[in-house]
Amino acid sequence: MTALASAGQDHPAMIWRNGDLVPWESATIHVNAVGHASTAAVFEGIKAYRADDGERLLLFRLHDHLRRLYDSARIARLHIPYDLPALERAVSDLLRANEFPGNAYVRPWIFPMGIIREQMVPAGAPCEVVIDSWTFDSSLREQAGAQAVVSSWQRISDAAMPPRVKAFSNYHNGRFALMEARASGHDWPVMLNSRHKVAEGPGACIALVRDGVVVTPSLTSDVLDGITRDTSLTLLAEQGVPVEQREVDRSELYLADEMFFMGTAWEILPIASIDGLPVGAGVPGPVTKTLTAAYDGVVHGRAGHEQWLTAVSR
Ligand code: PMP
């Protein structure tokens, strides 16, 4: 019986915790270790795509994601008691142990250890390190455009709660925006920052295309320093598409020929309408399609950039 089969359908057999692969069922904490104690937790979201040959499982930009985990921890003043190569090995060990037949999503996260009764988690509190993983289906090859809407909820700012930190708590902000968008019949919100400039979606960065130029909010627009954003800008530049990183006005969204979200989970997600206005022809345009194809090629190991891929052997 494979590890996955023995684990049942809802979770994999193993989870990585504080240096060990442990069976899912035994990875427990005291009920009193949540609440205020978990407000400081930071995490990463990484995808591993099964290569077209069916053999290799390719972690995409593992090193860069883990580097961002350490950056988040540094800003949040949490200590990760492992070095980066140790966590790289841990992620590969976990994927190997769970024997995923297809694609796998990996979530390394750290949170203060034990029962903390203070409302404010102290700086430097000892942390647990956990790596979870599960299967996912890529939607890169079957994409309808999303109906997006500008949110009345403002993106948290670097001066209040830095979006550069990938903290679970930041998703409380995105959640408000998402609930509002869904309540009005849309798929995803686009949040503006405290300067009323375009920031990002609750789980992805955003870019628009106008007159053949790709424009995305700068990294000082109150956004996460997205790895899919960086990948997209690199791949677009390689295709000869001009790219700009700068402040973006809300009204620019209404003039875009194309628009898309970029994120590990959302991949390259075309936007079909914004605030009820169709984006271009309302279907994915040529730049979006070119980028999606290039991204699909790279993550599946067909299109170079091997430095971004970590193969997990069976
Ligand atoms: N912004 C937010 C708020 C996110 O949650 C994510 C997903 N991690 C992104 C942007 C995209 O980042 P990445 O491409 O590194 O996944």
Residue to substitute in 66, 228, 230 for testing ligand 1 pocket (most ligand atoms within 8 angstroms of CB): 228
65 plus 162 within the same structural domain? no
Whole domain around residue 282: which residue ranges? 146-299
User: What's the total number of domains in the chain?
Assistant: 2
55 plus 12 within the same structural domain? yes
User: What tens digit of pLDDT does each residue of 45-88 get?
Assistant: 999 999 988 889 999 999 999 999 999 999 999 999 999 999 99
- Cα 264 to averaged position of ligand 1 atoms, centre (Å): 6
Is ligand 1 within 6 A of the CB of residue 204?
yes
Average pLDDT of the residues in 143-168: 96
Is ligand 1 within 6 A of the CB of residue 45?
yes
User: What tens digit of pLDDT does each residue of 290-306 get?
Assistant: 999 999 999 999 999 99
In a domain, 306, yes or no: no
Model confidence at 142, pLDDT cuts 50, 70, 90, reads confident
Q: In Å, what is the CA distance from 182 to each residue of 196, 270, 302? A: 22, 18, 37
172 plus 85 within the same structural domain? no
254 plus 194 within the same structural domain? yes
At 203, is the secondary structure helix, strand, or coil?
Answer: coil
Q: Which is it for strands 267-274 and 42-43: parallel, antiparallel or unpaired? A: unpaired
Q: Which DSSP helix (H) or strand (E) runs through 46?
A: strand 46-50
In a domain, 308, yes or no: no
User: What tens digit of pLDDT does each residue of 247-280 get?
Assistant: 999 999 999 999 999 999 999 999 999 999 999 9
Residues in the chain: 314
Options 47, 166, 197, 289, the catalytic residue: 166
Domain boundary among 102, 135, 168: 135
In a domain, 140, yes or no: no
pTM of the model: 0.96
90 plus 10 within the same structural domain? yes
Model confidence at 9, pLDDT cuts 50, 70, 90, reads low
Q: How many CB atoms are closer than 10 A to CB 85?
A: 10
